[in-house]
Amino acid sequence: MREERSERSEMSENGDGDEGKDVRWSPDPGGTAPPKCRAAAGSPGGAAVPPPPFSDQVLENVLENVLCFLTSRSDRNAASLVCKSWYRAEAQTRLELFIGNCYAVSPARAIDRFRRVQSLVLKGKPRFADFNLVPMGWGARLSPWLAAMAPAYPWLERICLKRIAVTDEDLSLLACSFHSFRDLSLICCDGFTTIGLAAVAGNCRHLRSLDLIENDVEDDEDEVVDWVSSFPPGKTCLESLIFDFVGCAVNFDALLALVARSPFLRRLRVNEHISSDRLYQLMTRAPQLTHLGTGAFSSSVEVGDFEESLESAFLSSKSLICLSGFRDLAPEYLHTIYPVCTNLTSLNFSYAQITAEQLKPVITRCHNLQTFWVLDSLGDEGLHMVAATCKKLRELRVFPVDATEDSEGFVSDVGLAAISEGCHELRSILYFCQRMTNAAVVAMSKNCQELLVFRLCIMGRHRPDRLTGEPMDEGFGAIVKNCRKLTRLAVSGLLTDRAFAYIGLYGKLVRTLSVAFAGDGDLSLRYVLEGCPKLQKLEIRDCPFGDAGLLSGINHYYNMRFLWMSSCKLSLSGCKDLARQLPRIVVEVIRDSSEDDNSDAVGKLYMYRSLVGPRNDAPPFVKIL
Amino acid sequence: MSAETAKSSTESDISGLDYEETELKLGLPGSSRIAGSELERKRGFSETVDLKLGGSGGCNLDYLTAESSDTRSSAAVKLPANKAQVVGWPPVRSFRKNALKSCTYVKVAVDGAPYLRKVDLEMYGGYQQLLNALKEMFSCFTIRNSPNNNERRLVDPLNGTEYVPTYEDKDGDWMLVGDVPWKMFVASCKRLRLMKSSEAVNLAPRAAQIG
């Protein structure tokens, strides 16, 4: 189960791990739960014998022992609603606290209810922040949470943060406050530097995992700290060290020594500054690795026959199941990975501009591949190869080499159709392209009935079916209709209200919906808000949806985590009206600097349910209605 | 509006850089003045340096072309002409874009912020777009033009602090952004720093005489 957890947290770009699955980490069986603070019946230690407890008390104690085994978040939420006794028992036994929106609840409230938390998952900024739609300084800071948790949860072991602003001071405080701290996972966070990393490395004596995934860690070149050297000497407990996007080079000798004294290390993902001639040295000291991020996978070193060494390193890595990196791929070294291909369940080539020709000898060996991330440089031809070999494929992501609207785009409907024909086990797909047809999307809807996540990004805005010239309505309609398990959908291309009618009609399990440059008017939004009962996260940009559409969701917004609407047709008065009608929703209007203060048009709307009302840390460009 | 833009963009292909510069004032109020002043400055260099803004600023022309293709599909929305329509689309995270490109990415530091951002200088056709992007990136600066010369400053409206965009060139010297022709700047810029203007006093612009 540990593998599962790390798979999800590593390949997490835009993927919310909680889709359909609530557990982020498996609980330790037998528990490392701290001893109970409340005296149970018959406990030694009191001179006077306490009066026999009410049967309620006994029941609650028993209940706690049972509820310990409940791990799923939704199960726990359900249990807590049964009655007050169950509520209390559940609160005492919840070990993992998941907070999907850091502004939905205050740290104080969370801590007050859940007293024994060992791991925290906290998410901050809306996802569109990844695409520069949220100005810097918007919020989602770790500091207030940390300040509250440090005294309240001294036995906290795990923290996982996504899109949170983390400072070096935060990391230092974290490192010093939690003495059994084990796992730190930072995903798409920013605000910290190698100073903070050094604090964590140096002070967390039981550190098991340090996973830095897709963060912006860019130090001023003059001020880089050698954080790898900050790990204490002697054997470490390290199981996972992921720093593939930490911008600055690390002290290689220190890293080598660290790996050599970390016998439990299973996951190592290094950054682009590690070239192949250094990579093999790391690998030979850690033949037990299951997950490897290969860094540059090239070398500027001319001398030395390290190619053989690299080959033999892969030959000895019998446990490797996940490969990534290849940040500056020299194709002539690709053959060294052949020995591990059969065992690979996960392969990430999405930073290597690899052609179908180059990919062929690799992919044809990867019979067990379940997760494949790649650049569109492989073309439709490459996708055919994937479809032919990877029958167990569950997740495919095809990213564009050239992420601009008028790029050529090397994959099309042909590749998508091929994948659908070959990979019937597909659960999740993210596909960037320039040319698509309804037919291919319909084919996928019929061939891949297990789809949970369908995200198609036709990069040119408003592009219709390339063969028929029609809108892409029928394709997306087929997806929601035929893929009965679908929980996440992202649409693109030319779309009319009809597409949204389909989504509202058939998308009964859809939780996350992303819409851009689509729809004819308010009706589209209404279809979705009225038709999708499970909708939690709705993010919309550049669509002709106005106040009427916004207001049509009034009965639904309390069931949702958030709504994002930018560059639509909303007005301030409309949003104010909504805010008035829904007191438990925080309605934020984010103003672009270029906008006229007096204008009634709303550039960006971000609204979310909250137990604590408007936040007090909003920057000046955020107006809370 | 889109039809008009489409027409102008084809004209600009023929006529050269001037039209493109003025066309690229996508909806910023009062921006025509700014674009105009940039135009004047560029003319000063046009004899010495061939500024093919249309070609090199690939992205910007692409955005114009994309606009023109929108006129085909009448179901297309009349998009509000603000920057949001080009920012963040296609939705690929900047770290991923960073990872694929190499040389033209430069780090941007702001005095007072402890961490850096990266920008791809090739994405911009000129100084104005670069400043706009920096403005977007670092909360809500506004751009203020100095009346006397070509300098541009970014102002944090919260406290009125002025920042001057500066850069380190290949020789390790810190210069004011806007001194040299755009292409020369792209080729020589190693990193950017938004310096508080109080600290930037000793950076004399090379071409201060050109007005």
Instruction: Give residue-wise pLDDT tens across range A521-559.
Output: 999 999 999 999 999 999 999 999 999 999 999 999 999
Report the 10 Å Cβ neighbour count for A296.
Answer: 23
CA distance A272 to chain B (A): 9
C-beta atoms of B136 and A517 within 8 A: no
User: Could you say which of B63, B90, B109 has the minimum Cβ distance to residue A403?
Assistant: B90
Nearest Cα residue in chain B from A217: B115
- The more confidently predicted of residues A199 and B107 is A199
Chain A residues near residue B90 by CB distance under 8 angstroms? 400, 403-405, 432, 457, 459
Q: How would residue B138 be classed by pLDDT, with cut points 50, 70 and 90?
A: low
- Per-residue pLDDT band at A371 (split at 50, 70, 90): very high
Flag whether pLDDT at A518 surpasses 80. Answer: yes
Does residue A403 belong to the interface with chain B, where contact is any CB pair within 8 Å? yes
How far, in Å, CA of B167 to CA of B150, rounded? Answer: 16
Q: Which of A354-363, A449-458, A527-536, B144-153 has the lowest mean pLDDT?
A: B144-153
3-state secondary structure A451-469: CCEEEEEECCCCCCCCCCC
Residue A473's pLDDT band, with cuts at 50, 70 and 90, is very high
Question: B76 burial class (0-12, 13-18, 19+ CB within 10 angstroms)?
Answer: middle
DSSP A53: P
Q: What is the mean pLDDT of residues B162-176?
A: 84
In 3-state terms, what secondary structure has residue A74? helix
What is the distance between the alpha carbons of residues A64 and B1, in angstroms, rounded to a whole number? 66
Chosen for mutation from B26, B98, B116, B174 (greatest number of chain A CBs closer than 10 Å) is: B116
CB contact under 8 A, A351 and B114: no
CA distance A577 to A556: 16
Round the average pLDDT of chain B to a whole number and report it. 60
Q: State the SS3 of chain B.
A: CHHHHHHHHHHHHHHCHHHHHHHCCCCCCCHHHHHHHHHHHHHHHHCCCCCCHHHHCHHHHHHHHHHHHHCCCCCCCCCCCCHHHCCCCCCCCHHHHHHHCCCCEEEEEECCCCCCEEEEHHHCCCHHHHHHHHHHHCCCCEEEECCCCCCEEEEECCCCEEEEEEEEECCCCEEECCCCCHHHHHHHEEEEEEEECCCCCCCCCCCCCCC
What does the block give as tokens for A201?
Answer: 């490395």
For residues A588 and A611, is the Cβ–Cβ distance under 8 A?
no
pLDDT one-digit tens code per residue, A400-425:
998 888 888 899 999 999 999 999 99
Please name which of A246, A203, A204 lies closest in space to residue A225, comparing C-alpha atoms: A246
Which pLDDT score, from 0 to 100, does residue B144 have? Answer: 61
**Are A404 and B142 within 8 A, CB to CB?**
no
pLDDT at B28 over 80: no
b/e for A310-345, b at 16 or more Cβ within 10 A?
A: bbebbeebeebbbbbbbbbbbbebbebbebbbebbb
- Which residue out of A188, A218, A350, A456 would a mutagenesis test of the B interface target, given it has the greatest number of B Cβ atoms within 10 Å? A218
Which positions in chain A touch B69 (Cβ < 8 Å)?
460
Chain A positions touching B92 (Cβ under 8 A) are 131, 399-400, 403, 432
- What are the strands, taking DSSP E only, across A147-193? 158-162, 183-187
Give CA–CA dist B170/B106, Å, rounded: 12
E strand intervals along A94-157: 96-99, 119-123
Confidence of residue B68 (pLDDT cuts 50, 70, 90): very low
Yes or no, beta carbons of B90 and A541 under 8 Å apart: no
Of the candidates B66, B78, B69, B91, which has an alpha carbon nearest to the alpha carbon of residue A520? B78
From A577's Cα to the closest Cα of chain B, the distance in A is: 23
Please, which residues have CB within 8 angstroms of residue A360's CB and are 6 or more apart in sequence? Answer: A382, A385
* A586 within 8 A of A607, measured Cβ to Cβ: yes
**A137, A190, A621 member nearest B115 (Cβ):** A190
Distance from CA of A274 to the nearest CA of B (A): 15
Taking contacts as CB-CB distances below 8 angstroms, the residues of chain A near B85 are: 542, 567
Residue among A136, A193, A401 whose CB faces B139 most closely: A136
Q: Is B75 exposed, middle or buried, given 0-12, 13-18 or 19+ CB atoms closer than 10 A?
A: middle
Which of B66, B73, B76 lies at the smallest CB-CB distance from A406? B66
Is residue A499's pLDDT more than 90? Answer: yes
Q: Judge contact between A591 and A621, C-beta under 8 A.
A: yes
Phi and psi based region of residue A291 (left: phi greater than 0; alpha: psi -120 to 50; beta: remaining): beta
Nearest to A128 among B66, B70, B88 (CB): B88
**B75–A496 C-beta distance less than 8 A:** yes
Residue B130 near residue B119 (C-beta atoms within 8 A): yes
Measured in residues, chain A has a length of 625
CB of A17 less than 8 A from some CB of B: no
- The DSSP element (H or E) to which A581 belongs, if any, is helix A572-581
Instruction: Report strand pairing: A428-433 vs A395-399.
Output: parallel
Average pLDDT over residues A320-343: 94
Distance CA A525, CA A58 (A): 51
Contact A272, A250 (CB under 8 A): no
Q: Is the distance from CB of B173 to CB of B191 less than 8 angstroms?
A: no
pLDDT of residue A452: 98
Q: Which residues of A touch B65 (CB under 8 A)?
A: 406
User: What mean pLDDT is reported for chain A?
Assistant: 89
Q: Considering CB atoms only, which of B87, B100, B138 is closest to A401?
A: B100
Q: Would you state the pLDDT for residue B145?
A: 57
**Which residue carries 């850089």 as its tokens?**
B17
Mean pLDDT of A143-161: 96
The pLDDT, as a whole number, for residue A489 is 98
**Confidence at residue A12, expressed as pLDDT on a 0 to 100 scale:** 40
**Which of B2, B28, B56, B89 to mutate to test binding with chain A, by most A CBs within 10 Å of its CB?**
B89
| Confidence band of A488 (pLDDT split at 50, 70, 90) | very high
Model pLDDT for residues A248-296, shown as the tens digit of each residue: 889 999 999 999 999 999 999 999 999 998 999 999 999 999 999 999 9
Element of type H or E holding A446: helix A438-447
B-contacting residues of A 41-70, CB under 8 Å? none
| Nearest Cα to Cα of residue B89 among A112, A514, A397 | A514
Express each pLDDT in A203-228 by its tens digit.
999 999 999 999 878 777 677 899 99
Interface of A with B in 145-174 (CB under 8 A): 167-168
Q: Give the distance from residue A321's alpha carbon to the nearest chain B alpha carbon, in angstroms.
A: 23
Distances (CA, A) of A294 to A14, A275, A330: 22, 8, 12
pLDDT of A51 > 90? The answer is no
**In the block, residue with structure tokens 């997760």:** A371
Q: Minimal Cα–Cα distance from A79 to chain B, Å? A: 39
Residue A342 confidence (pLDDT) above 70:
yes
Nearest CA in chain B to A569: B80
pLDDT value at A41 more than 70: no
Residue contact A494–B73, C-beta within 8 A? yes
The model's confidence at residue A572, banded by pLDDT at 50, 70 and 90, is very high
Interface of A with B in 309-348 (CB under 8 A): 327
| DSSP label of A345 | S
Q: Can you give the three-state secondary structure of A266-298, one letter per residue?
A: CEEEECCCCCHHHHHHHHHHCCCCCEEEECCCC
* Residue B25 pLDDT greater than 80, yes or no: no
Q: Which of A12-26, A316-330, A543-557, B165-179 has the lowest mean pLDDT?
A: A12-26
Q: Place A494 in a pLDDT band, splitting at 50, 70 and 90.
A: very high
Would you state the pLDDT for residue B165?
87
Q: Do A218 and B70 touch (CB under 8 A)?
A: no
Q: Do B91 and A516 touch (CB under 8 A)?
A: yes
Asked if A327 lies within 8 A of B136 by C-beta distance, the reply is: no
Nearest CA-CA distance, residue A219 and chain B, Å? 6
In this predicted structure, what is the pLDDT of residue A301? 66
Q: How many CB pairs under 8 A join A and B?
A: 157
pLDDT-derived band of residue A69, with 50, 70 and 90 as boundaries?
confident
Say whether B85 and A567 touch across the interface (CB within 8 A). yes
Question: Comparing A571-575, B57-61, B89-93, B139-143, which segment has the lowest mean pLDDT?
Answer: B57-61
- pLDDT band of residue A580 (cuts 50, 70, 90) is very high
Asked whether A269 and A325 are in contact (CB, 8 A), the reply is: yes
Q: How high is the pLDDT of residue B105? A: 72
- Partners of A596 on chain B (C-beta within 8 Å) are 29
Judged by a CB distance cut-off of 8 A, whether residue A565 touches chain B is: no
* Residue B207 pLDDT greater than 60, yes or no: no
| Residue A405 in contact with partner chain B when CB distance is under 8 A | yes
Residues of B in contact with A375 (CB under 8 A): 100
Backbone angles phi, psi at A154, to 5 degrees: -60, -20
For residue A46, what pLDDT is reported?
A: 45
* Beta bridge pairs of residue A185: A160, A211
What is the per-residue pLDDT across A240-249, written as a single tens digit (0 to 9) for each?
Answer: 999 999 988 8
Contacts of A368 (CB under 8 A, 6+ apart): A342, A343, A344, A345, A392
Strand partners, B142: B155
Q: Do B91 and A566 touch (CB under 8 A)?
A: no
* Least trusted range by pLDDT, from A51-65, A66-80, A511-525, B168-182: A51-65
Distance between B139 CA and the closest CA of chain A, angstroms:
5
State whether residue A201 is helix, strand or coil: helix
Question: Which of A295-299, A507-511, B39-43, B57-61 has the highest mean predicted lDDT (pLDDT)?
Answer: A507-511
Phi, then psi, of A383 in degrees rounded to 5: -65, -35
Q: Predicted confidence band at A593 (pLDDT cuts at 50, 70, 90)?
A: low
Question: What backbone phi and psi angles, to 5 degrees, belong to A223?
Answer: -120, 20
Q: What is the least distance, in Å, from the CA of A65 to any CA of chain B?
A: 45
β partners of residue A374: A398
Q: A131, A243, A589: best mutation site toward chain B, by most B Cβ within 10 Å?
A: A131
Number of helical (H) and strand (E) elements in chain A, helices listed first: 21, 21
pLDDT at B74 exceeding the cut of 60: no
Is A193 part of the contact surface with chain B (CB cutoff 8 Å)?
yes
Span of A166-175, A379-388, B147-156 with lowest mean pLDDT: B147-156
Nearest CA in chain B to A168: B114
Q: Is B28 exposed, middle or buried (0-12, 13-18, 19+ CB in 10 A)?
A: middle
For chain A, what percent of residues have pLDDT higher than 90? 74
